[in-house]
Structure 1
Amino acid sequence: MIHTIRSTRFNLSISKLVKPHVIRAYATVPPGAPAFQVFDRHVKQMQKDRAAISVESSREVDYIKDEVAARVADRLLDIKRNFSQVVDLGSGCGHIVKHLDPTMVKKLIMCDLSEKALLRDADQPCSIEIERHVVDEEHLPFKEDSLEAVLSSLSLNWVNDLPGALIQIRKALKPDGVFIGAMFGGDTLFELRTSLQLAETERESGVSPRVSPMTDSSDISRLLTRAGFTLTTVDVDEIQVNYPSAFELMQDLRSMGESNAVLSRRPLLQRDTLLAAASIYKELHGNPDGSIPATFQIIYMIGWKPSPDTPKPKKRGSANASLKDVL
């Protein structure tokens, strides 16, 4: 099933397609060892600050984050429980809060690395109580066993130590607390990545990381289990947006605060390389109407902190009905 949202600028659809992708691998490191640094967190904060300052242009590009946040909120709604307090980790201006109401959550604690992003829509009315705090997702300030639920939408993909962040989230949750997250997956912007690589190879005789490395869905499942979560669930969607050209795509990414923040990135993209990439993009991936598609793969995850009341899986062979008969 494909869901479509249309506007005068872009076309957005969600599907279950699978494409070749570049993944980010994780390895076990000794306790206390420093995490391998992939992203420049200070640069990411500046990018989010710059995007939030341009209020009108950043609101125009909320379409991806609002769509994903709605699906994260739907997963919270599926849990038949009234939450008195929920943390939104990496909240930005408040994409998730738009989809919550007092019957679900009484109070939302919005946390983000960028204070300007947190305050962008502080004057907008809201149906639930809100607190805003500047928080680095890599260093959570919450006490152990203090939170009922933690949500995170399109923020954890910029964290250097994702295993460590998940462990901190699990520790902060109360027993039987739930974590619901969404992050960009390995297929995200594969069209842009391949076009830039081909253009740089042709014009500059080499390539540099122009699109950030992403996490694979199979990695997420293992990382949740490794962090101590139980009853884990991972599923994947794809959002495809059609743009007039690669220039509009890159401008929207900048306005979203989603520009490249990899430490080893080249500081500048030469004009002739950029023009070549746009031409290659349209030639390799262009639509018949002249527009170009951009794919955003979204990995959704749910994990529960173990408690004495957590349901246990049945022993193998204990079923009293055949799945074949049921289906």
Structure 2
Amino acid sequence: MLTRSIRTTCSFTFGLPRRFYASVPTNSPTGSGGTAFQVFNREVKRRQKERAALDVEKSRVVDYLKDEIAARVADRLLDIKRKFNTVVDLGSGCGHIVKHVNQDMMKKLIMCDMSEAALRRDADLKYEVEVERKVVDEEHLPFEEDTLEAVVSSLSMHWVNDLPGALIQIRRALQPDGVFVGAMFGGDTLFELRTSLQLAEMERESGLSPHVSPMTNSNDISRLLTRCGFTMTTVDVDEIQVNYPSAFELMDDLRAMGENNAVLSRDTLMAASSIYKELHDWVEAFPGDSTT
């Protein structure tokens, strides 16, 4: 298991992405997904992504995290010693993976996202590969069985209600020996924010709300990929620390990324920020330091 830690100059830690990839066996059974448990309101999430993408300049400022993880996903494609004709990018957002691919890796990338505004935000930019854009919900894929060479997904599937069902749909759409490479938030992502919000709400509102989404862990993902019919599965854990001066700046960036969940009152957020400084502000910052 590979763990990387990147530290910057402020004091708020963000992120624990899970990166994984798998291939489809030649004669894989199709399987079927069960009834999805509705954790997320997908229409609300679509509107949040639309609003974020329509604020073009601000959303570009906060692309840094998704761009970094997308670069790592694209790098994983280089481990596969073949050139793809067409690759599908599920939950592409504004185009984070396409920034990091070239003609040596693929001829064409199909960007799929449920937010049309996100898909079109950077439509005027030129890339090294041909790009096609499709409005697609990750929970309801439009692709025929055995038609895709490769599917990638970066920081999108943590908003999917029926993750097993989505993975089964991906596996069905892949050709025999097709490849899936994905990354999603998991484990202790936003642990500091989660604990601070919980304590603040208990103090100010005498109750708790799920402001940080439930996360999977690496063992869950590994078992789930196998259960969904993938073979030769590999799961990495990358820990990335992005530091913020307070919870206010973090929450503002989450909204600009379209990654926000429930709305917080200012009183609760101020309490959470104070609690964070008390509990988690001991982390020292080392500019430019990166350890493997």
Aligned CA RMSD, in angstroms, stands at: 2.3
Q: Please tell me whether the aligned partners of residues 166 and 224 of structure 1 are also in contact (alpha carbons under 8 angstroms).
A: yes
- Contact 1:3–1:14 (8 Å) recurs in 2: no
Q: Distance in 1 between matches of 2:32 and 2:64?
A: 40
Aligned mates of 1:75, 1:47 — CA distance in 2:
29
Tell me how far apart the structure 2 counterparts of residues 209 and 102 of structure 1 sit (CA, whole Å): 43
Contact 2:34 2:165 in 1 (8 A): no
Partner residue, 1:285: 280
Question: Within 2, Cα distance between the matches of 1:121 and 1:175?
Answer: 33
Structure-1 separation of matches of 2:275 and 2:177: 50
Q: How does 1:1-327 map to 2 (within 5 A)?
A: 2=4, 4=6, 34-260=35-261, 268-287=263-282
Structure 1 segments of 4+ aligned residues over 2 angstroms from their partners: 1-7, 9-16, 30-34, 268-271
Alpha-carbon distance in structure 1 between the residues aligned to 2:34 and 2:102: 42
CA deviation map 1:126-162 (0-9, x unaligned): 1110000000000000000000000000001000000
The secondary structure found in structure 2 opposite 1:182 is strand
d(CA) in 1 for partners of 2:181 and 2:75? Answer: 10
Please give the secondary structure, in 2, of the residue aligned with 1:168.
helix
Q: Deviations over 1:26-51 (max 9, x none)?
A: xxxx9675311000000110010000
Q: CA deviation at 1:273?
A: 1.4
SS in 1 for 2:243: strand
TM-score (norm 1): 0.78
Q: Following the alignment from structure 1 to structure 2, what is the Cα–Cα distance between the partners of residues 59 and 148? A: 30
* 5+ residue gaps, structure 1: 17-29, 292-327
> Which amino acid is the alignment partner of residue 236 of structure 2?
D
Task: Rate the CA distance shift 1:51–1:215 in 2: closer, same or farther, 3 A.
Answer: same
Name which structure has the greater RCO, CA cutoff 8 Å, separation 6+: 2
User: 1:195-216 deviations in whole A, cap 9, x for unaligned?
Assistant: 0000111111111111011111
In structure 1, how many angstroms separate the alpha carbons of the residues matched to 2:4 and 2:110?
33
Structure-2 separation of matches of 1:10 and 1:73: 29
- Greater C-alpha radius of gyration: 1
Offset from partner CA, 1:201-242 (integer Å, 9 cap, x none)? 111111111101111111101110111000011110111111
Query: CA 1:248 to 1:11, structure 2 compared with 1: closer, same or farther past 3 Å?
Result: closer
Q: SS in structure 1 opposite 2:251?
A: helix
> Contact 1:73–1:96 at 8 Å: present in 2 too?
yes
1:272 Cα deviation after fit: 1.8
SS at match of 2:271: helix
Q: CA deviation at 1:244?
A: 1.4
Give % identity: 72
Whichever residue aligns with residue 60 of structure 1, its letter is V
Q: Distance in 2 between matches of 1:15 and 1:55?
A: 26
- Aligned residue pair count: 270
Structure 2 stretches lacking a partner, 5+ long: 18-30, 286-292
Give 1:186 deviation, angstroms. Answer: 2.0
Question: TM-score w.r.t. structure 2 length?
Answer: 0.87
